[in-house]
A and B are shown apart, each in its own frame.
Chain A
Amino acid sequence: IMLTQSPATLSVTPGESISLSCRASQSISTNLHWYQQKPNESPRVLIKYASQSISGIPSRFSGSGSGTDFTLNINRVEPEDFSVYYCQQSNSWPLTFGSGTKLEIK
C-alpha cells in the first residue's frame, strides 16, 4: 500500500493552524498512524489509528480520516513543532510509510 503525503514542504508562521494530508492507494480503514521526527532524533508517534491520542503528546495534535484520506491537524503551531511528519499504515503487510511532510518556519 502506497501512502502519498502532501504537501512535501509547508512553510508556516508560529501560531497558525495547519493540516497535513496522507492518502492511501487503497482503503486502510483507520489503520493509519502519524509520527514526528526532529533532526538527528528518532521518530515519535503522535496519533494512532487515525484519530486516537497518545499519552504525553500535546493536545494541539489531532488526527482524522478513514478509508483512503487522512489528516493530521496542528492547532496553533509552536516553535518546537517544526520538523518532519510521517504517516504509516498497518492495514496490510508490509507496513509502509509516507514520504513525509517537512514543516518549516516561514
Chain B
Amino acid sequence: QIQLVQSGPELKKPGESLKISCKASGYTFTDYAMQWVKQAPGKGLQYMGWINTQTGKPTYADDFKERFVFSLETSASTAYLQINNLKNEDTATYFCVMGAHYFDYWGQGVMVTVSS
C-alpha cells in the first residue's frame, strides 16, 4: 500500500537549519508530484508548493520562496524539505503529500518547534 513516512520531531533554535525527510513506498516515486503543506499549532492548512519528481524542479508558493528548499533523492524514493535560518513562526507541523490536484496520501507530519 502507498505510504509516506516522515522523519521525527525537531527542536531547533532561531537561526538554525533543518532538513525533514519523506520516504515514499508502494508506488513509483517519479509518477507523482510531491507537495508540502504547513500547519501552525491550532491553525489551518497552508500550501507550500511542490516538487516535480521527474525533473527535480521545485515550485514555491509566495510565502515560501525564501529560506525553504524542496529536494529529492530519487534512488531512495525520498523527498526533503529544508528550512534555513529558522524563525519562531516556522513552528508548525509539516506534511508531505502525494497528489497533483487533490491530496490522496499524506505523511504523518513532522512537528517542528523553534524556540530559544
Chain A, 19-59, CB within 8 A of any chain B CB = 31, 33, 35, 37, 42-45, 48-49
Enumerate chain B residues within 8 angstroms of A31, measured Cβ to Cβ: 101
- Determine the distance from Cα of A48 to Cα of B100 in the docked complex, in whole angstroms: 12
- Report the interface size class on chain A: 20 to 34
Chain B residue nearest to A32 (CB atoms) is B102
- Determine the distance from Cα of A42 to Cα of B100 in the docked complex, in whole angstroms: 18
Enumerate chain A residues within 8 angstroms of B62, measured Cβ to Cβ: 94
Interface contact A97-B47, CB-CB below 8 Å:
yes
Enumerate chain B residues within 8 angstroms of A95, measured Cβ to Cβ: 35, 47, 101
Interface contact B47-A96, CB-CB below 8 Å:
yes
0/1 string, B33-62, CB within 8 A of A gives 1: 001000000001111010000000001011
Interface contact B103-A99, CB-CB below 8 Å:
no
Enumerate chain A residues within 8 angstroms of B108, measured Cβ to Cβ: 42
Instruction: Tell me, yes or no, whether B70 is within 8 Å of chain A by CB.
Output: no
Enumerate chain A residues within 8 angstroms of B59, measured Cβ to Cβ: 93
Interface contact A97-B106, CB-CB below 8 Å:
no
Interface contact A90-B44, CB-CB below 8 Å:
no
Instruction: Tell me, yes or no, whether A88 is within 8 Å of chain B by CB.
Output: yes
Interface contact B47-A94, CB-CB below 8 Å:
yes
Chain A residue nearest to B100 (CB atoms) is A90
Could you write out 26 A-B pairs with CB less than 8 Å apart?
A31-B101, A33-B102, A35-B45, A42-B95, A42-B107, A42-B108, A42-B109, A43-B95, A43-B106, A44-B106, A45-B103, A48-B102, A49-B102, A86-B45, A88-B45, A88-B102, A88-B103, A90-B102, A94-B47, A94-B62, A95-B35, A96-B47, A97-B44, A97-B47, A99-B44, A100-B45
Point out residues on A near B: beta carbons under 8 Å.
Answer: 31, 33, 35, 37, 42-45, 48-49, 86, 88, 90, 93-100
Point out residues on B near A: beta carbons under 8 Å.
Answer: 35, 44-47, 49, 59, 61-62, 95, 100-104, 106-109
